[in-house]
Amino acid sequence: MQQLIQANGQPHYGILEQTPQHINYRDFDYRSPMGRKLGALSKWRNFHQFQYFGLISPTLIGGCALAELSLVAIGFVYLYHPLSGRMIERQFKCPLGLGTNFSQTPDEGVCELRQGRNLLRLENVGNPLEKRLLVELDDGTRIDARFNEQDPVFNPMSLCTPTAVNGWVYARKVAGVRCSGEVRSALGDFDLRAIDAFAHHDWSAGYMRRETFWNWACLSGEAQGRRVGLNLSCGVNETSFTENCFWLDGELLKVDSVRFEFDRDRDMSPWAIRSFDGQVDLRFEAHGLHRERLNLGILASNFRQIFGRFSGELRPFGQPVLPIDNLWGFVEDQYAKW
- Cα gap 283→88, rounded to integer Å: 26
pLDDT tens string 57-89: 999 999 999 999 999 999 999 999 999 999 999
Q: Is residue 22 part of a domain?
A: yes
Cross-strand bridge partners of residue 205: 49, 170
Sign of the Cα pseudo-torsion (41, 46, 47, 51, in order): positive
Q: For position 238, what pLDDT does the model report? A: 86
Q: Is the pLDDT of residue 14 over 90?
A: yes
What average pLDDT score do residues 18-29 get? 97
- Give the Å distances, CA to CA, from 182 to 30, 56, 143, 144: 43, 13, 6, 5
Full domain range(s) for residue 328: 14-337
What average pLDDT score do residues 186-197 get? 98
- Cα gap 304→298, rounded to integer Å: 20
- Give the number of other Cβ atoms within 10 Å of residue 65's Cβ: 21
Using DSSP, state whether 20 is helix, strand or coil.
Answer: coil
The percentage of residues in the chain with a pLDDT greater than 90, rounded to a whole number, is: 91
Q: What is the CATH number of the domain that holds 315?
A: 2.40.370.10
Using DSSP, state whether 174 is helix, strand or coil.
Answer: strand
Q: For position 25, what pLDDT does the model report? A: 98
Q: Would you place residue 298 in the very low, low, confident or very high pLDDT band (cuts 50, 70, 90)? A: confident
Taking the mean position of all CA atoms in its chain, how far away is CA 6?
A: 25
pTM of the model as a whole: 0.95
Q: How many domains does the chain have?
A: 1
Q: Is the pLDDT of residue 292 over 90?
A: no
Q: Is the pLDDT of residue 294 over 90?
A: no
Q: Would you place residue 296 in the very low, low, confident or very high pLDDT band (cuts 50, 70, 90)? A: confident
Q: Is residue 171 part of a domain?
A: yes
Q: Is residue 6 part of a domain?
A: no
What average pLDDT score do residues 231-251 get? 94
Q: How many residues does the chain have?
A: 338
Q: Is residue 310 part of a domain?
A: yes
